[in-house]
Amino acid sequence: MENDPIVVMKDKCVGCRLCIKSCPFGAIAMQEKLAVIELTRCTLCGACVPVCKFKAIEMRKKDAPVAGAVADLSAYRDVWIFAEQKDGRIQSITYELLGEGRKLADQLGMSLCAVLLGSGMSDKTAELVQRGADRVYVVDAPELAYFQDEPYAAVLIDLIRRHKPAIMLCGATTIGRSLVSRVAVNVRAGLTADCTGLAIDPETKNLMQTRPAFGGNIMATIITPKHRPQMATVRHKVMKEALVDASRKGETLIEKVAAEVLKSRAQRVKFVPEAETTMNIAEANIIVSGGRGLQAPENFSIVRELAEVLGAGVGSSRAAVDAGWIPYSHQVGQTGKTVCPKIYIACGISGQIQHLAGMSSSDIIVAINKDPDAPIFRVATYGLIGDLFKLVPLLTREFKKALKK
Amino acid sequence: MHIVVCIKQVPDTADVKIDPKTNTLIREGVVSIINPFDMYAIEESIRLKEKLGGKVTAITMGPPQAENALREAISMGVDAGILVSDRAFAGSDTWATSYTLAMALKKIGDYGVIMCGKQASDGDTAQVGPGIAAHLDLPQITYVRKIEEISADHVVGERLLEEGTEVIRAPVPCVLTVVKEINEPRLPSLKGKLAAKKAQITHWKADDLKAEKGNLGLDGSPTKVVKIFTPPARQGGQIFKGEPEEIVPQLVEKLKDAVIAAAS
Ligand SMILES: Cc1cc2nc3c(=O)[nH]c(=O)nc-3n(C[C@H](O)[C@H](O)[C@H](O)COP(=O)(O)OP(=O)(O)OC[C@H]3O[C@@H](n4cnc5c(N)ncnc54)[C@H](O)[C@@H]3O)c2cc1C
Ligand SMILES: Cc1cc2nc3c(=O)[nH]c(=O)nc-3n(C[C@H](O)[C@H](O)[C@H](O)COP(=O)(O)OP(=O)(O)OC[C@H]3O[C@@H](n4cnc5c(N)ncnc54)[C@H](O)[C@@H]3O)c2cc1C
């Protein structure tokens, strides 16, 4: 027990149960009128510690050596971002990472570096410099033309070991999450998932990484105090894109890697672009979504028409996907995509917690629903109460006028 | 083939409600379930076994109660369950979790396909599957929505990327993480329920794994959660009700600038 990382001091606990309520993980229970922490369930988040009025809960402060801890943190310098590209085009998440990375690098007095893996992409480095990179590491090889988990991870591991960055950011995209989870294990780094906020602790200079968990119901701030690099994936559409400044100067370093590093056991057999030619909703600045309130598959045209006028992507609730009205790739929510557009318009969606988990961090939320008590109105910036079959087509017409289309 | 499916017990978020006054999670009475994505992983594992023969083992790292998750998996058709549980695992982040599971897999030894869910509905990181692959130095196919082909020595899986579908062939052993679209999980059969009741769950503690102590639990975890808080509630918005012809232009006026800004 002495070595337990968190303890309830039996002489201080009065059995008031306050800690039980405070625990987001249900890890505390009463046993013989005293609080007992179920350690296999506890995440050591510390939420219970300040709640106890009797100071009966203590977290063990430990300065014992931690496995894989870096002895000299100052040997790790610079803020790195992974420059995601598809078909040779730099993805917008990359510009968001550059925008955020620039701020962090300036606060730390470090350089901002972009890592670009691809084939025949050397001419794209200027774009990265103009958006804020002081240095671009390029690895150019046919094996890197498109994303492959193994060689991409191996190259990144190689570069990190050689150059020792202090921070490494990557988009929390499908590619990003598959990639850096592998990398972090190998370089023994901490990896914080899907961050929506990043800041530097003014005292310790640690990266404070804030992220939603539990489907967006709680937020956690996470640090990696003793390991380097401090790695994080960053949610798409949350950070501001870095602007182009054509006068910026930066250097490009072409890195060579051993042939071994480029090997992949898994191989792409084929690639089929999304059948429906509408845009990827994770990229969309505006999303118009439809739910069960549409009542029939053909009524999705109402939503599509509004989306077209607004230049928006089309999203949906799970109910609409399960009914077969629209493909799964359009589903927003806990078991679908997490989106964060500037404007999200929900038509005939009730706003169950699993749906909200995927869209509640949108800038502006518009809800259209005939039920004034629908939970979607609680997160809506603007709500229209009424029949969507009247409201949505009218909205399309009015927007057409307003936008002079 | 020996298929191993990794499952996690999570609080049922369908039950999770927010206390509107305090803006905190109400957890009382929330039951624990198998992580929804892991249900698809279990179903797919059973289907692969039905095709190839062999057996499916479900493994979970968690509290003693997680045994229930393993029994539920067995009721669906999984053959055996392993519970990896020890106080030493407390405070594991995804590095330590994937390390611990990887060490348990090494102890199992003859695994072919290792199946995981896309992500857990509580921690939400999607990092454990690729983490296991990295610890074991195995190839991975993430976000699999269809298994096109499987044999004793290779698997062909289709994965959903943001912009389309990619078909990947990987040698076995390998790690797959699956999305919801892959199948429709079956309900437990009566026979399955009986089997689940009778099943002997294997219990492994830290000492049973040839693990380096320093890599487990809090000590093995590079990340530290320093603060947990509930997100600020969104301000109740502006509600328009009345005649469509009146309220729609009002909304358009409010949104116009944002729409133009979003387009540029
Ligand atoms: C583990 C789990 C994961 C899940 N994951 C997701 C997920 O990722 N995404 C997701 O969306 N859901 C998810 N769900 C399902 C979720 O709980 C809801 O069932 C689903 O979101 C409901 O979809 P809906 O709002 O379209 O339908 P409903 O809840 O049926 O709502 C329809 C709404 O339309 C309104 N309406 C009807 N007619 C009209 C009209 N003429 N005009 C205006 N309004 C009208 C009604 O008032 C109602 O509010 C998940 C559930 C579980 C258990
Ligand atoms: C609020 C909060 C935030 C957190 N943020 C981070 C973070 O940013 N970075 C970090 O490293 N850790 C984080 N953690 C810790 C992390 O949740 C735990 O390490 C957890 O054990 C595994 O991560 P996950 O729930 O995200 O699983 P995921 O990686 O999302 O799970 C993917 C799949 O892996 C398998 N799997 C996951 N856990 C288990 C298990 N215990 N047993 C068997 N199979 C399993 C399942 O198949 C599952 O579908 C956080 C914890 C909390 C409470």
Is A267 inside any structural domain? no
Domain that holds residue A383: 286-404
The answer to whether the CB of A371 is under 6 A from ligand 1 is: yes
Choose one of A262, A296, A315: the last residue of a domain. A262
Best mutation target, B67, B124, B159, to test chain A (most A CBs within 10 A): B124
Of B86, B145, B228, the CB nearest to A45: B228
The answer to whether residues A55 and A90 belong to one domain is no
State how far the alpha carbon of A393 is from the alpha carbons of A304, A376, A402, B120, in Å. 10, 20, 14, 39
Look at residue B25 and tell me whether its pLDDT is greater than 80. Answer: no
Mean per-residue pLDDT of chain B: 91
Instruction: Report how far ligand 2's centroid is from the alpha carbon of B93 (Å).
Output: 7
Residue B9's pLDDT is what? 94
Which residues 92-131 of A have a C-beta within 8 angstroms of B?
none
Mean pLDDT of A4-21: 89
Residue B17's pLDDT is what? 62
Question: Are B130 and A182 a contacting pair at CB < 8 A?
Answer: yes
CATH code of residue A246: 3.40.50.620
Residue A383's pLDDT is what? 95
Give chain A's domain count.
3
B23 confidence band (pLDDT: 50, 70, 90): low
Look at residue B15 and tell me whether its pLDDT is greater than 70. Answer: no
The answer to whether residues A47 and A81 belong to one domain is no
Q: How far apart are CA A81 and CA B121, in angstroms?
A: 27
Residue A217's pLDDT is what? 74
* Span B83-130, pLDDT tens digits: 999 999 988 999 999 999 999 999 999 999 999 999 998 888 999 999
Q: How far apart are CA A151 and CA A145, in angstroms?
A: 11
Q: In the structure encoding, which two tokens stand for residue A330, read together?
A: 């359009």
Is A268 inside any structural domain? no
Q: Are B140 and B172 in contact (CB under 8 A)?
A: no
Q: Mind telling me how many Å the CA of B12 is from chain A's nearest CA?
A: 10
Residue B22's pLDDT is what? 57
- Given CB atoms, is B143 within the 8 Å cutoff of chain A? yes
The answer to whether residues A219 and A321 belong to one domain is no
* Span A217-240, pLDDT tens digits: 788 999 999 999 999 999 988 898
Which residues in chain A are contacts of B227 at CB distance < 8 A? 45-46, 220-221
Is A394 inside any structural domain? yes
- Given CB atoms, is A149 within the 8 Å cutoff of chain B? yes
Is A276 inside any structural domain? no
Is A137 inside any structural domain? yes
Mean pLDDT of A264-268: 97
The answer to whether residues A198 and A295 belong to one domain is no
The answer to whether residues A242 and A210 belong to one domain is yes
Percent of residues, chain A, with pLDDT higher than 70: 96
Q: How far apart are CA A186 and CA B29, in angstroms?
A: 40
The answer to whether residues A296 and A187 belong to one domain is no
A275 confidence band (pLDDT: 50, 70, 90): low
Residue B166's pLDDT is what? 94
End-to-end CA, chain A: 71
The answer to whether residues A128 and A236 belong to one domain is yes
Residue A336's pLDDT is what? 85
Q: In the structure encoding, which two tokens stand for residue B45, read together?
A: 């594992």
Mean pLDDT of A134-163: 97
Is A85 inside any structural domain? yes
Q: Are A211 and B122 in contact (CB under 8 A)?
A: no
Q: Which residue of B has its CA nearest to A227?
A: B222
- B51 versus B235: which is more confidently predicted? B51
The answer to whether residues A155 and A255 belong to one domain is yes
Percent of residues, chain A, with pLDDT higher than 90: 72
Q: Are A46 and B225 in contact (CB under 8 A)?
A: yes
User: Residue A320 phi/psi, 5° resolution?
Assistant: -70, -35
What are the helix (H) ranges across chain B?
36-52, 67-76, 94-108, 128-135, 190-198, 244-263
The pTM of the full predicted model, rounded to 2 decimals, is: 0.84
Peptide bond into A341 cis (omega under 30): no
The answer to whether residues A168 and A251 belong to one domain is yes
Q: How far apart are CA A345 and CA A382, in angstroms?
A: 9
Residue A65's pLDDT is what? 60
Residue A361's pLDDT is what? 85
Mean per-residue pLDDT of chain A: 92
Look at residue B160 and tell me whether its pLDDT is greater than 70. Answer: yes
Is A1 inside any structural domain? no
Cβ neighbors of B237 (< 8 A, separation 6 or more) are: A365, A377, A379, A380, A381, A382, A383
A39 confidence band (pLDDT: 50, 70, 90): confident
The DSSP line for B211-233 is: --GGGSTGGG-S-EEEEEEPPPP
Is A64 inside any structural domain? no
Residue A116's pLDDT is what? 98
Q: Is A298 exposed, middle or buried (0-12, 13-18, 19+ CB in 10 A)?
A: exposed
Cβ neighbors of B186 (< 8 A, separation 6 or more) are: B43, B46, B76, B77
A63 confidence band (pLDDT: 50, 70, 90): low
The answer to whether residues A296 and A354 belong to one domain is yes
Candidate from A101-105, A326-330, B147-151, B183-187 with smallest mean pLDDT: A326-330
- Given CB atoms, is A212 within the 8 Å cutoff of chain B? yes
Which residues in chain A are contacts of B254 at CB distance < 8 A? 382
Residue B88's pLDDT is what? 92
Of B126, B237, B259, the CB nearest to A382: B237
* Span A78-120, pLDDT tens digits: 999 999 999 889 999 999 999 999 999 999 999 999 999 999 9
- A2 versus A29: which is more confidently predicted? A29
* Span B50-78, pLDDT tens digits: 999 999 999 999 989 999 999 999 999 99
The answer to whether residues A35 and A97 belong to one domain is no
Look at residue B246 and tell me whether its pLDDT is greater than 80. Answer: yes
Residue A274's pLDDT is what? 67
Domains of chain B, start order: 2-215 (3.40.50.620)
CATH code of residue A360: 3.40.50.1220
Question: Are B248 and A391 a contacting pair at CB < 8 A?
Answer: yes
B190 confidence band (pLDDT: 50, 70, 90): very high
Percent of residues, chain B, with pLDDT higher than 70: 92
The answer to whether residues A306 and A332 belong to one domain is yes
Residue A405's pLDDT is what? 65
Q: Which residue of B has its CA nearest to A328?
A: B181
Q: Are B114 and B48 in contact (CB under 8 A)?
A: no
Measuring CA to CA, which residue among A287, A215, A212 is closest to residue B14? A215
